[in-house]
A = this chain, B = another copy of it.
Amino acid sequence: MSGYYGNKMITLIDELSRLPGIGNKTAQRLAFHIISMPQERVQELANSMIEAKVSINHCQRCCTITDTNLCPICQDEKRIQNQIMIVEGSRDMATYEKTQEFKGLYHILHGAISPLMGVGPSDIKIKELLTRLQTENIEEIILATNPNIEGEATAMYISKLVKPLGIKTTRIAHGVPVGTDLEYVDEVTLSRALQGRQEI
């Protein structure tokens, strides 16, 4: 159907529609927008992709995605240096940063243990975490992996590894999300909320 636009346009639509969440219609809309942009802007967009791809690496300390050796958080000496929050991905870190509640450091696993998907402990950044625990003076690790099967399994696995080191290990609280009606909350969450009840 897009054959009328010529081969270059078909290639562009095809490339765009391979991106996640971009269907053929959206790809067409984006392609038409791109060819209507000034050429410098198209060049800037294309360059930003290549430059990001080429320059991005993992922070040498926390393994987050960054374009410097150490990410801005690991470089920041004002962060609490003996607390590490362990998350599955760099975006989880960014999400937690938005809360402005956590002042410690992070460690990004880049995944979670999932035997079903063939992801074992050696496929995520657990070795790097253990190296940090041995070289840095860490007093607490906070397990903030996702509250699903893989995230829970990963948290359990890490907590067992860390226990012999005598480092305090905590897990973020499960409970009722703020702002919802109880009737919409599933039973597992409700029972977790009950187990985790705190005196007020």
Interface residues of A (CB under 8 A from B): 1-9, 11-12, 14-16, 19-22, 26, 28-35, 37, 39, 42-56, 64-68, 71-73, 90-91, 93-94, 97-98
Residue pair A8, B97 in contact (C-beta under 8 Å): no
Chain B neighbourhood of A42, CB < 8 A: 49-50, 53
Complex: A67 Cα to B2 Cα, angstroms: 12
Chain B neighbourhood of A6, CB < 8 A: 55-56, 65-68, 71-72
Residue pair B73, A4 in contact (C-beta under 8 Å): yes
Complex: A53 Cα to B32 Cα, angstroms: 10
Residue pair B93, A15 in contact (C-beta under 8 Å): no
Which of A22, A33, A46, A93 counts the most B-chain CB atoms under 10 A from its CB?
A: A46
Residue pair A33, B20 in contact (C-beta under 8 Å): yes
Question: Given A5-B67, A35-B56, A46-B46, 8 more contacts at CB 8 Å?
Answer: A1-B98, A5-B90, A9-B56, A9-B66, A12-B52, A19-B33, A21-B30, A32-B90
Which of A37, A47, A49 counts the most B-chain CB atoms under 10 A from its CB?
A: A49
Give A27 Cβ to nearest chain B Cβ, in Å. Answer: 11
Q: A47-B46, A48-B11, A97-B1 known; A53 and B29 CB under 8 Å?
A: no
- The residue from B12, B34, B67, B98 contacting A7, defined by CB atoms under 8 A apart: B67
Give A66 Cβ to nearest chain B Cβ, in Å. Answer: 4
Complex: A98 Cα to B2 Cα, angstroms: 10
Q: A1-B98, A97-B4 known; A52 and B9 CB under 8 Å?
A: yes
Residue of B nearest to A50 (CB): B46
